[in-house]
Homo-oligomer: A and B are copies of this chain.
Amino acid sequence: MGGPEIERLIELLARLPGLGPRSARRAALTLLRQPRTRLLPLATAMEQAANSVRTCDACGNLDSRNPCSICADEHRDHSMVCVVEGVGDLWALERAGVHRGLYHVLGGTLSALGGTGPEDLSTAPLLARLAGGEVREVILALGATVEGATTAHWLAERLASFGIAITRVAQGVPMGGALDVLDDGTLAAALMARRS
């Protein structure tokens, strides 16, 4: 159509989540129309990210520093660790700006169907951090799914021996959410956890 370079670009773009073949062609065309001002800067940004971003040894976050800028931040509360499934969840909490402590990225949830067992999750760095003695509370911020609940239960048991507070994020009606469009499970959880 326009040489192997264009075909390859479209093929790789189409593998991105959120882009299909059609939108990959449209994105490729947009980039190819401005090779100097759009295509090359994106290529450079990707190369720099690939060469600099590493997984933080202490928490599993992705950062160009190791330990990551959150773990290295002396102004954050090192006595609280929020456990999340993935880096995307960490990003969401950071955007919301609601957690001033540290994080631990598990890298998944236990799933019999998905074939994810305890050995596939990253727990050693968390246990090492807890053994350090500075942490007083671990917040389990896992998804409100069967896998999330199973993983939270399993992890809470593993952490019980440290004698620190283990909490979970609350379940209920999301902000701005109308009751009549919520599923039964959310309604039940919200009703059971009612507050005066």
Contact = CB atoms under 8 A, between A and B. Distances in A.
Interface of A: 1-6, 8-9, 12-13, 15-19, 23, 25-33, 35-36, 38-53, 61-65, 68-69, 86-88, 91, 94-95
Given A26-B88, A36-B50, A8 B45 contact: yes
A18 B9 contact: no
20 contacts: A2-B61, A2-B63, A2-B64, A2-B91, A5-B48, A5-B52, A5-B64, A9-B45, A12-B45, A16-B19, A16-B27, A17-B30, A18-B27, A29-B91, A31-B46, A32-B62, A35-B51, A42-B46, A43-B43, A47-B47
Copy total for this chain? 2
B88 A2 contact: no
Given A50-B40, A91-B1, A17 B12 contact: no
